[in-house]
Amino acid sequence: MKEYFRQSMDWLHTWTGLVVSWVLLFIFLTGTAGYFDTEIDRWMQPEVPAVAAQPPTEQIVAVALARLRQQAPAAERWFIHLPGDRSEPSLRIRWQSAQAADGTRAVNGNEQLDSASGLPTAARATGGGQFLYKMHYRLHYLSKDVAYWTVGVATMFMLVALITGIIVHKQIFVDFFTFRPGKGQRTWLDAHNVLSVLSLPFQLMITYSGLIFFSITLMPLIVAAYYAPGEPGRQSFRSEFERGIEVKPAGIAAPLTPIAPLLNLAQARWGADVQQYRIEIRHPDDANARISLRHAIDSPSHYSEVLVFDGVSGALLTIQPAAASNAKAVRNVFIGLHVGRFADTLLRWLYFAFGLLGSGMIATGLVLWAVKRRQRAEQQNGAAHFGLRLVERLNIGTIVGLPIAIAAYFWANRLLPLDLPQRGAWEVHVVFIVWAIMLLHATLRPPSRAWIEQFGLAAAAFALLPVLNAITTDRHLAHSIAADDWVFAGFDLTMLGLGVVFLWSARKLARRAHTAVLATPLKPGSAVNGSAMLADERANQANPL
């Protein structure tokens, strides 16, 4: 019974792991990049100076309000994100119009402003790190519903693959210290085990919390059972947790109270940096205006307490707790852990590293699947069946081809003409065009060559990015280091590091292919073991290491 259980879980692990893994790899790689979204934003707009001295807060609020009055006088809500925080390095304003009675979507807008002039920042149009981060759950080119369901289903597969992976692992800690390099299939299994076990808590957290993001979409009937079916029910369910003050506009104009004293009050309570506060103004310039203040969060609880003021008199009306209930608090912690907004520099790098480990776990699992079957096919002297060849090709075009496509996103940022219409959208098109080319390349070339060629290309695409940056901007690596600009220097160095890893892989594979070619004529006719070794060698040419 026990053996049957393990075998069935092994089977389930193999297939749930395989079927959606390329989508998962896309989600993992773009999501991992997303942990440095604002840093990437800044690298992709080199015109925006690294450190701008900020005027006094009072003045920043004034220019933001002036711009909002000009851009969105009729909006229901205004938001001001004060500059200085990691996630908001520049002053940003957002606005939202009221939802029309006929159910059409509210009109939203947002602008990044120069905090001195109050005018939009003059910088190239770019998708930035935000687009890269968004891709990991919005995919791209797909409608919201299709994207959420696709990502949700893939995530559910991931959850099952994780749990079954733990079950089939008999000696989880012994295996953790086991790595046997250069042993073909066994090496891939070891690598897969080490990567998975090392990052297991993170993978479980990120997967389950990922599902929680979509819980209402994926499990609509649970909500529908107690609320109205469909969107109206979901809205009334959500509104039960709304912490905003529901108040109708009076329709009478009234001047807005000065915001600076409210900020001082908040600072006396929270103590945190004023730069990390978010200001929301509901029904601006109306007699029923409300101003609420939040602060950036330094813990995974994700939401901050909210101070709500009367927008005309400036009186403090209520203090809303960070979570309306225990269930909500649990949900907030999952969301907060997933997003990692609270993470400081060290923790942010850990998030990034765990994201890469997760990507490595998926990639090694995929390669292991192919190596195993390639070996079996070679030993049986049969040709590789279509499924195996498909997986091998998808592996190359995604494990290496997708990183190349992401590098191409950064190349496009520097090389596309600055006045190109829809420039930001074209940067993203480049990602998918390059990915498609890499998949095509992987199908046209023999696998062993395709691996080496794509690793080589990936090495160049990443390692040369700092060079491209040096040519196209005046903020090259040496300048960034001298200027203590660690956003730019960190980006350049990370790209260089990734380039080195890809170069190392390319060289290792090239050397292996070379020795395999030399060894082949020496082996024929040897014992059964010998031919098995040969098959192993050939399997390894089709699948690296």
Partner 1 sequence: MSNDRQPTASYRLAIASRITAAILGGYALATLFSIALAGLPAAHRADSVLAALLLSFAIYAAAILWAFAARSAWLAWLGLLVPAVLSSVSIWLLR
Q: Does 18 bind partner 1 (CB under 8 A)?
A: no
Closest to partner 1 by CB, 8 vs 110, is: 8
> Is position 370 an interface residue for partner 1 (rule: CB under 8 A)?
no
Tell me whether residue 176 or residue 237 sits nearer to partner 1 (CB atom).
237
Q: What are phi and psi of 425, to 5 degrees?
A: -65, -35
Based on the shown chain and the rule CB under 8 A, indicate whether residue 381 belongs to the binding site for partner 1: no
Nearer to partner 1, 376 or 445 (CB): 376
Residue carrying the six token digits 């920042």: 121
Q: Is 221 in the site for partner 1 (CB under 8 A)?
A: yes
Gap between the Cα atoms of 16 and 10, Å rounded: 10
Beta carbon nearer to partner 1, 282 or 331 = 331
The yes or no reply on residue 330 touching partner 1 (CB under 8 A) is yes
Nearest C-alpha neighbor of 311 from the set 243, 255, 244, 266:
255
For residues 322-346, b (16+ Cβ closer than 10 Å) or e, as one string?
bbeeeebeebbbbbbbbbbbbbeee
Q: How far is the CB of 227 from partner 1 (least distance, A)?
A: 8
CA distance 57 to 63: 10
Six-digit token string for 177? 């210290």
Q: Is 216 in the site for partner 1 (CB under 8 A)?
A: yes
Find the largest Cα–Cα distance for the chain: 95
Amino acid identity at 488: F
In the chain, % helix, strand, coil (3-state, to 5) comes to 60, 10, 30
Q: How far is the CB of 165 from partner 1 (least distance, A)?
A: 12
Structure tokens at 149: 């369901």
For the CB of residue 26, give the shortest distance to partner 1 in the complex, in Å.
21
Candidates 139-147, 321-329, 500-508, 514-522 — which segment interacts with partner 1 by CB under 8 A? 321-329
Contact letters for partner 1, residues 332-351 (x by CB under 8 A): --x-----------------
Q: Kindly write out the interface string for residues 109-148 of this chain, putting x where it contacts partner 1 by CB under 8 A and - elsewhere.
A: ----------------------------------------
211 near partner 1 (CB under 8 A): yes
DSSP state string for 134-151:
HHHHH-SSS-HHHHHHHH
- Helix (H) / strand (E) element for 437: namely helix 423-444
The interface with partner 1 within residues 228-267 (CB under 8 A) comprises 237, 240-241
Q: What residues form DSSP beta bridges with 92?
A: 81, 112
Chosen residue from 126, 164, 196, 413 binding partner 1 by CB under 8 A: 164
Smallest distance from partner 1 to CB 225, Å: 5
Cα 167 from Cα 10, distance rounded (Å)? 8
Would you count residue 327 as binding partner 1 (CB under 8 A)? yes
468 in helix, strand or coil? helix
Sole binder of partner 1 in the list 235, 318, 325, 520 (CB under 8 A): 325
**Closest distance of CB 347 from partner 1, Å:** 24
Query: Binding to partner 1 by residue 219, rule CB under 8 A?
Result: yes
Q: For the purposes of burial, counting CB atoms within 10 Å of the CB of 246, is it exposed (0-12), middle (13-18) or buried (19 or more)?
A: exposed
Listed ranges 29-37, 159-167, 292-300, 354-362: which one lies at the site for partner 1 (CB under 8 A): 159-167
Q: Least distance to partner 1 from the beta carbon of 284, Å? A: 30
CA distances from residue 402 to 55, 414, 431 in whole angstroms, order as listed: 42, 19, 8
Count of chain residues binding partner 1 (CB under 8 A) = 36
107 sits near partner 1 (criterion: CB under 8 A): no
- Binding-residue pattern over the window 436 to 455 for partner 1, x denoting contact by CB under 8 A: --------------------
Q: What is the 3-state secondary structure (H, E, C) of 355-401?
A: HHHHHHHHHHHHHHHHHHHHHHHHHCCCCCCHHHHHHHHHHHHHHHH
- The half-sphere exposure of 335 on its side-chain side, counting CA atoms within 13 A, is 15
Q: Compute the distance between CA of residue 191 and CA of residue 176 in angstroms, rounded to an integer.
A: 9
- Residue 215 lies near partner 1 (rule: CB under 8 A): yes
Binder among 18, 48, 147, 156 for partner 1 (CB under 8 A): 156
Minimum distance, C-beta of residue 2 to partner 1, in the bound complex (Å): 11
Report how far residue 152's alpha carbon sits from residue 138's, in angstroms, rounded to the nearest whole number.
Answer: 11
Q: Of 173 and 226, which has the nearer Cβ to partner 1?
A: 226
Is there binding between residue 24 and partner 1 (CB under 8 A)? Answer: no
Q: Is residue 326 part of the contact set for partner 1 (CB under 8 A)?
A: yes
From the CB of residue 121, how many other CB atoms can be counted at a distance below 10 Å?
18
Of 81-89, 152-160, 355-363, 536-544, the segment contacting partner 1 by CB under 8 A is: 152-160
Nearest residue to 228 (alpha-carbon basis) of 195, 220, 336, 507: 220
Query: Is 223 near partner 1 (CB under 8 A)?
Result: yes
From residue 275 to residue 314, the character string flagging contacts with partner 1 as x (rule: CB under 8 A) and all else as - is ----------------------------------------
Which residues bind to partner 1, rule: CB under 8 A?
A: 4-5, 7-12, 156, 159-160, 163-164, 208, 211-212, 215-216, 218-219, 221-223, 225-227, 237, 240-241, 325-328, 330-331, 334
